Structures are given as C-alpha cells and as structure tokens.
Structure 1
Amino acid sequence: MKHIISLGELLIDFIPMKQVQLEEACYVPHAGGAAANVAVAIARLGGLVRFIGAFSEDQFGQLLIQKLVDNNVDVGYSHLVREVPTTVALVTLYPDGQRHFTFFREQTADSQLRAEGLNWDAWNDVAVCHVGGVLLSTEPGRSATLAAIEHTHQVGSLVSFDVNIRPTLWDSSSAIRNIIMNVTEQVDILKLSIEEAEFLIANKEEFASNALELSKLKKLGEAFLEKGPDFVIITLGSRGALLFTHKHQIEVPAMQVAPIDTTGAGDAFMGAILYQLVQQGINTPEDLLTLSEYEISNLGKLASLVAGLSCTRYGGCSSFPYMHEICSVMDAQKKASISSADQG
C-alpha cells in the first residue's frame, strides 16, 4: 500500500472543557491543525501517512510531534524551527457544537515551512499529497505548498486540496480568492465547505441567493469541476456532503449524532476519503476517473461515519475514531437494519 502525504500546519487548539461563558471557561490544549488532523485520521483507520510541516522546539511543538508519533504518523520529513513559538488557536464553542477560531500565528513555526527544505525522497512511494489553505496564506509556506503541488504532478501522484479558508490569516478577501482559485486549477481532489464554495464563487450571480438549494449546490460543484479538479467534495455540516465527479453526483447524509465539538470534523471526513482511495488502488489522476457511482457512495458513507463520531468528542485529532470503532458502528447498523426488516 502506498503512502499519503499531508503537508501543512501543526498547532495547538485551546478548547473549553464545556460550553460556558468566556470568563468561566477552562481551556485544554489539543493537538490540531488541518494537515495534522488529516494525517491522524488516516493513520487511525490503518493507512500509511507522512506529515510534512514545520514545528517549534518549544513545549507545545514537542507535544505535537509526539502526538503524531503516538498515532503512527511518519514525521521523519518534518522540520524543526528554533526560536519561534507554536501557533495557538483559541476555540469558542457554541451550543450546536459549531466553533470559532481566534489565531495567534505571527511568525510562528508552522508558517516557516520552506520549499528549499522539502525532501523529495518523501514522495517516492506516495499515492496522494494533501495540502491546505492555511499555509497558502503567507510566505514562505505558500511557496512550499506550491512546490509540493508541482512535484506531486511530476511524479504522477494525486494532489488533494482542502481550501480551509481562515480569513483573519490573510491580507484581503481578494488575495484569498485569487490564490485559492489559482491552486484549485492545479489539483485533482478539492474539498471545501458550502460557506467556502459560496465565498469563492460569489462573483457569479446565479449563486448569489438561495445557494443552499440542492439544484444550486449541484451547480456549485459543477463550477468547481470546470476549474480543473476531477473530484469535488462540498461539505454541508449537519446536512452531510455532496461528492462530484465528471460522471456522478452523490448526496451523502450526515451521521445523526448530538454534536459537542465539530473541531476537525471536516478533516476527519477528508482523511477517510483519502484513506479509502488509496486502499482501492487510486494512485493517479487517471485512476480517479474510473470511480463508479457505487464506489463514490461508499467513500462518502464511511467518511460520514468517521466525521460523525468525531463530533461526539472534544478536540481535533484526539476525537477521531479508530477503524475498530467504525466497524463496530457498521455492525450495529447492519443488525438494526436486519431486525427492522424482520419486524416488518
């Protein structure tokens, strides 16, 4: 089985132990960062994954790297950055489990990943390189991400991209649109939330209102397919997700849970998608074009389970389920379905 690379940020999420007023909150540090989260999600399902990023020599940086190691993520190609702190994100939780991030990321370690420091040996047995929007927000991380994308194309592997827009990390809305859309044209797999999709296509009048209607959601997916990707994923929160290829459009319902913290749910979903693609031998852009409607539906179903279970626990990667937990849930669902059919 080939490896997956997840390249990007590694940071600390400070998450309140429960939903209370800010002055009453007790915050607990959790390992986070979208790229690191995706790596852990893949590893907990049993995939082979490498995390490539820059980390601090401070206490948080050491904690983060150890967290990845403990989860069987290969960190051998990551970079230690001295005399700079680890990025911190203060997470505000809302009653429905949704969250808001306040970042402290001025000249911090994760933003210091450099193109000239990348070791291309890491790509020798890789099926997919996954990148994200946070590192694109500033230099030198932007150039490192673009170099990784270019090299992935050169070796014939898949490029996966989660736009993961965090507006406060960028100079302007126009910079976000210009850079994110430019990268979108260079990738094979694109993942974004409905809010991000609407933001990026806001200049098109047909998406200016009632964009949550299914017909307009499908037009959004088709619009992004036209930009270059062969597989587009639009996540809809509690409504599930839509998965698009040039041949198929699949609606995936969300797992019905009572969420307490949705931090990292999208990363869990994406990790599960990438894990399954590699398990199925999808290693090149040409392979991606062979996916059937049935296969795409199965990708979404398992990813929905992984993301749903993560929402029932606090934290980002610490909340992600292992494959044995997923199998237990699937077995329970199967038994319930059989019992229901027998009673009918």
Structure 2
Amino acid sequence: MKKVFCIGELLIDFVAENQGKDLSKAKEFSKKAGGAPANVACTISKLGGNSFFIGAVGDDPFGTFLLRILENEKVDISLAQKCETFTTLAFVSIDADGERDFVFNRGADKELTYDATLKSKFEGNILHFGAATALLGGSLEETYSRYLFDGLTKNAFISFDPNFRIDLWKNKEDIFIRKCHTFIEKSHLCKFSLEEAQLLSGKDNLKEACQFFHDMGTQIIVVTLGSEGTLLSTKDIYKTIPSIKVTPKDTTGAGDAFIGCLLQQLAEHSKIEDVLTNDYLLSNMVSRANKAGAITTENFGAIQSLPTSQQLDA
C-alpha cells in the first residue's frame, strides 16, 4: 500500500453551531480540529490507509490539542512541526442547511519550513496538496512548491485541492487562479467544487472546464456537486456519479472526506495508471468516496464525523 503525505494547514475551528450563518450574532463556539489536509489525512487513516501530515502548528495548548487529535486518529505526525507563532484559528458559522461562513486568524501554518530529507520518502507514494492557506505567502508557500517538485522528481502521484476560501482571496482571485494553475498542470488528480472549477477554468460549462484542465495536464478531474454527486472526467470518461441521500447538519469536511476516501483507494493499487483506463473501477471508487463525503455531513465537526470502512460497506 502506498503512503499518502498530506501537506498544508492544521488549525482550530471555533464553530458557532445552531446559531445561523451570521458570525456577528454568534455567542457560543465549540473548539474543533480543522484544516483540509489534516481532514484528508484522518480520512485515509480511518479507512485503513497509511497517512502522514506535513504542516505547522504553534507550540501552545491549541497546537498540542491538534496533534493529539491526529495521533488518536492514527495519522503519522512525525513530520509535523511546532513553532513559536500561535496556532492558526478559524471561526465558522453554519446555517440550517449546513452551509458555512469562515473568518480566519492566520498563524503558525504559514511557518512550515522545507525538509530536504523528505524527498526520499516521497518516492512512488502519493502527495496531496490542500491549498486553503498554502498560497498566501510565508515559508509554507515556498515549502509547498518545493515539495511539489520533490514529488515529481520521485515519481509520486500528485493530488491537488484548491480549497478556495473567498474570505482569504477577496479582490485577489486573479492571484489565486495564477498560483493554482502551477499545481493543476503538474497534478495527476485534481478535486474541485463547482465554484472552484468555474473560477479556475474561466468556463461556466463544466465539460469545457474539464477540457481546460485536461489540456493543462491533469489526468483525473473530480468536481463535487453536493447532493447531485460528483462529475468524473478523464481522457476516456465523462459522467456524473450519484451520491446517497442524507440530511446534512454540517458540510465542513465533506470534500476532504471525499478526496481522502478516493486517495485511500488509489493507494491500494501498485500501478495507479492502470486505474485511469478502468471505467468500472474508477467509477466505483468515486461512488464510495461520494458516500464518505455524504456521511460526514450528518454530524457537526469534520474529523469526528468521518466514516469508518464498516459504515461505507453497510
């Protein structure tokens, strides 16, 4: 089984549950572990995969709390870093349909420094890049790019999720698009939301958007469409894989559970390139990943809501 290295942010989500989407009116918050790459790593581990988290937290009680959560989920945290900068915080509100509003207070995640010794660990494995904060500058952005180069030179399978957050990129979307394109053209697999696919391609039509990304170099494109399922596009496949019906309480982490489940399945194959041309196999993988994403929305908080293999098999 291939190892999956998840690179990016780990942070505290202070969630205003059952208080509407307007953060200015929220009075009570629950502390939860967050950060898209960390959620992906936990999903992979919970489903029996071998995941590593690469990111930075503060040398403070919140950082300790976060690393302990990952460790309890059997994620390898030996490559995580602690620094003097305070742990990154996000304040999240959730409306009645489970949709979210974010405000970030960025901290330690931007301080991740490059470790040249990791290059040898990447060989033949999977690298997943979650970009919610990674392209905002700081040491993290440089480190992020260097690990992409290392992964490519070591024949790693590259996965990229832009994790677009309007609060972080308002009036700077053109910069976000330009920076994401560097990763999209080098990735084997890209996972987008509908909004991200249209923003990053400049195309309203999804088929045209997928062709745009394929022309850039991406082999597998998945576009999550909420209750409608997921659009799967490769050189030979273009179809929507349906999801299961659930009543969502919190959509936080649904996309992370989806891509984590998909990567865990891909990691079980010694030759991932063989999967790309197998319509039946790849479609079933996406269907299972849809189920993982849907189940995650049925409870509050991403990591504690992630499904087990038994739940997916039921």
Q: TM range, normalised to the smaller chain?
A: over 0.9
Residues 17, 25 of structure 1: 8 Å contact kept:
no
- Higher Cα Rg, which structure: 1
- 1:24-43 correspondence to structure 2 within 5 Å: 25-43=27-45
- Is contact 1:93–1:100 with CA below 8 Å preserved after alignment? yes
Q: Secondary structure at the match of 1:314?
A: coil
Q: Which residue of 1 aligns with 2:112?
A: 113
Q: Provide Cα deviations, 1:134-153, integer angstroms capped at 9, x if missing partner.
A: 21221211111111111111
Name the residue aligned to 1:327. 313
User: Quick one: which of 120, 125, 128 aligns to 1:127?
Assistant: 125
Deviation per CA, 1:107-133, whole angstroms, max 9, x where unpaired?
A: x11111122x35316625652100022
CA deviation string 1:284-306 (max 9, x = no partner): xx4454x3110111011100111
1:61 and 1:122 map into 2 onto residues whose CA distance is 27
Q: 2:252 aligns with which of 263, 269, 272?
A: 263
The answer for the alignment partner of 1:100 in structure 2 is: 101
- Return the alpha-carbon distance in structure 1 between the equivalents of residues 82 and 29 of structure 2: 27
Cα pair distance change 1:302/1:25, threshold 3 Å = farther
Q: Which amino acid aligns with 1:147?
A: R
Structure 2 length normalisation: TM-score?
0.93
Cross-structure match for 1:76: 78
- Structure 1 pair 272/81, CA: closer, same or farther in 2 (3 Å)? same
Instruction: Tell me the secondary structure at the aligned position of residue 229 of structure 1.
Output: coil
- Determine the C-alpha separation between the residues in 2 that align with 1:276 and 1:112: 31
- Report what 1:188 is aligned to: 188
Gapped regions of structure 1 (runs ≥ 5)? 329-344
Range moving further from structure 2, 162-171 or 311-320: 162-171
The root-mean-square deviation of aligned C-alpha atoms, in Å, is 1.7
Write the mapping of 1:204-283 to structure 2, written as runs, cut at 5 A: 207=203, 211=204, 216-283=205-272
Say which of 48, 51, 56 aligns to 1:49.
51
Query: Which runs of 4 or more aligned residues in structure 1 lie more than 6 Å from their structure 2 counterparts after TM superposition?
Result: none
Task: Give the secondary-structure state (helix, strand or coil) at the position aligned to 1:258.
Answer: coil
Number of the residue aligned with 1:316: 302
Which AA in structure 2 matches 1:81?
A: C
Q: Please give the alpha-carbon distance, in whole angstroms, between the structure 1 residues aligned to 2:119 and 2:148.
A: 15
For each residue in 1:17-65, what CA deviation from the matched residue of structure 2 results, as whole angstroms up to 9, or x when unmatched? Answer: 3244753542101111000000001011110010111111111100000
Give CA deviations for 1:92-113 in whole Å, capped at 9, x if unaligned: 11111111111111xx111111
SS at match of 2:49: coil
In structure 1, C-alpha distance between the alignment counterparts of 2:120 and 2:67, rounded to whole Å: 17
2:138 matched to which residue of 1? 139
Quick one: distance in 1 between partners of 2:221 and 2:108? Answer: 31
- In structure 1, C-alpha distance between the alignment counterparts of 2:178 and 2:287, rounded to whole Å: 33
Residues 164-213 of structure 1, C-alpha deviations (whole Å, 9 max, x = no match):
112333472221111111221111111111101111223xxxx3xxx3xx
Instruction: Tell me the residue number matched to 1:12.
Output: 12
TM-superposed CA distance for 1:72, in Å, is: 0.4
Distance change in 2, residues 1:40/1:86 (3 Å):
same
Aligned length: 310
2:60 matched residue in structure 1: 58
Q: What is the rounded CA distance, in whole Å, between the counterparts of 2:271 and 2:3 in structure 1?
A: 12
Q: Which whole-Å CA distance do the structure 1 matches of 2:26 and 2:206 have between them?
A: 40
Q: 1:2 touches 1:125 (CA, 8 Å); kept in 2?
A: no
Q: Is the 8 A contact 1:269 1:303 kept in 2?
A: yes
- Given that 2:122 and 2:156 are in contact with CA atoms closer than 8 Å, whether structure 1 keeps it comes out as no
Counterpart contact for 1:4–1:48, Cα < 8 Å? yes
- Structure 2 stretches of 5 or more lacking a match? none
**Could you tell me whether the CA contact under 8 Å between 2:57 and 2:88 is conserved in 1?**
no
CA distance in 1, matches of 2:4, 2:88: 24
| SS of corresponding position for 2:76 | coil
Sequence identity (%): 33
Which residue does 1:337 correspond to in 2?
none
Query: Could you tell which deviates more after superposition, 30-39 or 242-251?
Result: 242-251
Task: Tell me if the contact between 1:54 and 1:78 (Cα under 8 Å) persists in the aligned partners.
Answer: yes
Q: CA 1:167–1:137 in structure 2 vs 1: closer, same or farther (change >3 Å)?
A: farther
Q: Which residue does the alignment assign to 1:333?
A: none
